[in-house]
């Protein structure tokens, strides 16, 4: 499978937000993330999204 991980970067801090991510979309200015268990998280104040396809990582700068 090709699930990914989403990390939040705030200042010099980086923390894991969600594992096993299967869907990521932008809706009404919010970043909406779903994992394979159907859990959802939203990020309202994303300034930048960095996607690493090789490592299956998404880093969101807030």
Tell me the residue length of the chain: 62
Residues 17, 60: Cα–Cα separation, whole Å: 10
Which residues are 57's β-sheet partners? 5, 52
Digit-by-digit pLDDT tens for the chain (62 residues) are 689 999 999 999 999 999 999 999 999 989 999 999 999 999 998 999 999 999 999 999 99
Instruction: Quote the pLDDT of residue 1.
Output: 64
Instruction: Quote the pLDDT of residue 53.
Output: 94
């Amino acid at each position: 499978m090709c699930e990914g991980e989403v990390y939040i970067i705030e200042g010099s801090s980086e923390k894991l937000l969600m594992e096993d991510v299967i869907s990521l979309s932008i809706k009404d200015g919010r970043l909406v993330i779903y994992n394979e268990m159907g859990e959802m998280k939203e990020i309202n104040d994303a300034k930048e999204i960095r996607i690493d396809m090789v490592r299956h990582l998404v880093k969101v700068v807030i």
